[in-house]
Structure formats: structure tokens, C-alpha cells
């Protein structure tokens, strides 16, 4: 009986030790894609295909020479507010206020180009003036090479539709999946950054119908 108890105790200790040894490798194996999916819920469209020797190479924080640039909110573009017609969006004249709460990114390298997915999550809060049932949230994503003589490598505007409900506080999300730009050199890589933010200019008014000439 005593020998059996000793053998069981040894087996338990061995199992605990083995589990502890495996934990660091499991944590370190979490890719940037996994973090992206966990942040935005992930889906079949967000799942990155495993890299092959002949296909795209997924970049993550372990890449020494070429990494996926960080995401930052452009100064002055972290919020977006709309007021009643003809008035500034302040005080009781605010119809709604949108803000960015979370960001994520994922990159792949293929044929000298980087293709990136930029994820943005935020929230729209209804103001005292009341928001319409449906609003358009304008956003912009830019790839910028910082440092002396900052240069915009590419930029693109997006819109996402938000349905307002009775809670008065509604989340929104957008995943920009078509960010493509030339891969920088290892020397310039650390100067690259993804800038995101609200851009009211991204909302374009619909063209007015032309008047029909009377014969």
C-alpha cells in the first residue's frame, strides 16, 4: 500500500513538471494573428493561412529585421463629434460622439510587398441633441514613414455604418484588409507606423441629380 502511494505521488509530480515545462512554449507560440483574432472575435475571413516556403510570410514580433509596424491614433483624430445643423458639436448641441477604444494589426510579406489588416474598435455615444437611427463613422488608415521628413506611404478612407439603439451607447468595428505597400528596408523599418483616426472628409456627399432641361 505504501509503495503504491509513493508511485502515484511521483506520477503526479512528473505530470505537474511536464505541464509547467510546456506552458512557456505555448505562450510564446501565440502569433500576432491569434492576438488579432482574440481582440475582434475572429472569423473565417480573419484567419491567416499558414506560411509556406513559397508563399507569403506572416510577420510577428519575433521578426528581427522586418516587423509589423505599431498602430497609433493620429493626434487630434481620436474622437468624432457631430452637432445639430449650423451649430458646433458642444454641450447640448451634440448629436453623438464617437471614440476609438482598441486597435490591432496583422501583416504578411510577399514578393517585396507588405499586406496589412488594421482592426479598429470604438464606441458611439448619443448626445443631448439625439442621434439619428443610423450614422456613418468616417475613418482613415495611413502608412507613414516617420523621422526627419515624415512621408505618407499610403492612405485610405473608410466608412462603417452604426445602428443606434435605445441604450445610447453602441460599439462599432472596422477591419481594413486592403493595406498594401512596399516592404521597407531593415534600416527604415523602425520608422514605420500605422496611423488611424477619424476623418470627417471621408464622408462624401452624394452628387445632386442634374436638372432636366426643358425643351
pLDDT higher at 15 or 151: 151
User: What number is the average pLDDT over the span 38-64?
Assistant: 43
Distance CA 138, CA 135 (A): 10
Q: In percent, how much of the chain has pLDDT > 90?
A: 53
Report DSSP state, residue 53: S
User: What number is the average pLDDT over the span 205-213?
Assistant: 48
Minimal CA–CA distance to 121: which of 142, 100, 96, 97?
Answer: 100
Residue 83: beta bridge partners?
A: 94
- When pLDDT is cut at 50, 70 and 90, the band that residue 210 belongs to is low
| Range with the poorest average pLDDT among 47-51, 104-108, 164-168 | 47-51
Give the pLDDT score at 27: 32
Residues 6+ apart with CB under 8 A from 14: none
Q: Is residue 9 part of a domain?
A: no
Q: Is residue 21 part of a domain?
A: no
Q: Is residue 208 part of a domain?
A: no
pLDDT higher at 153 or 15: 153
Q: Is residue 48 part of a domain?
A: yes
Domain span including residue 70: 30-202
Q: Is residue 39 part of a domain?
A: yes
pLDDT in tens, 121-179: 999 999 999 999 999 999 999 999 998 889 999 999 999 999 999 999 999 999 999 99
User: Does the pLDDT value for residue 66 go beyond 70?
Assistant: no
> Which of 10-14, 64-68, 196-200 is predicted most confidently?
196-200
Give the pLDDT score at 67: 77
Residues 6+ apart with CB under 8 A from 86: none
Tell me the whole-structure pTM to 2 decimals.
0.67
Q: Is residue 24 part of a domain?
A: no
pLDDT in tens, 188-199: 989 999 999 999
- How many structural domains does the chain have? 1
Q: In percent, how much of the chain has pLDDT > 70?
A: 64
User: Does the pLDDT value for residue 63 go beyond 60?
Assistant: no
Q: Is residue 164 part of a domain?
A: yes
Q: Is residue 99 part of a domain?
A: yes
Distance CA 63, CA 108 (A): 12
Burial of 157 from C-beta contacts in 10 A (0-12 / 13-18 / 19+): middle
Give the pLDDT score at 32: 41
Give the pLDDT score at 62: 44
Amino acid at each position: 500500500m505504501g509503495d503504491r502511494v509513493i508511485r502515484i505521488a511521483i506520477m503526479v509530480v512528473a505530470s505537474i513538471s511536464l505541464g509547467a515545462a510546456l506552458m512557456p512554449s505555448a505562450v510564446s507560440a501565440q502569433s500576432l494573428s491569434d492576438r488579432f483574432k482574440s481582440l475582434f472575435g475572429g472569423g473565417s475571413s480573419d484567419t491567416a493561412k499558414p506560411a509556406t516556403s513559397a508563399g507569403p510570410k506572416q510577420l510577428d514580433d519575433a521578426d528581427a529585421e522586418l516587423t509589423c509596424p505599431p498602430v497609433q491614433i493620429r493626434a487630434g483624430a481620436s474622437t468624432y463629434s457631430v452637432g445639430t445643423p449650423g451649430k458646433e458639436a458642444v454641450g447640448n448641441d451634440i448629436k453623438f460622439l464617437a471614440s476609438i477604444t482598441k486597435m490591432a494589426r496583422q501583416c504578411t510579406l510577399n514578393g517585396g510587398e507588405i499586406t496589412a489588416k488594421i482592426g479598429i474598435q470604438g464606441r458611439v455615444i448619443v448626445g443631448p441633441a439625439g442621434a439619428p437611427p443610423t450614422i456613418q463613422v468616417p475613418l482613415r488608415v495611413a502608412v507613414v514613414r516617420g523621422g526627419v521628413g515624415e512621408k505618407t506611404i499610403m492612405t485610405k478612407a473608410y466608412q462603417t455604418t452604426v445602428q443606434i439603439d435605445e441604450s445610447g451607447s453602441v460599439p462599432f468595428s472596422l477591419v481594413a484588409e486592403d493595406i498594401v505597400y512596399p516592404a521597407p528596408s531593415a534600416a527604415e523599418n523602425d520608422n514605420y507606423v500605422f496611423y488611424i483616426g477619424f476623418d470627417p472628409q471621408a464622408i462624401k456627399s452624394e452628387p445632386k441629380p442634374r436638372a432636366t432641361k426643358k425643351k
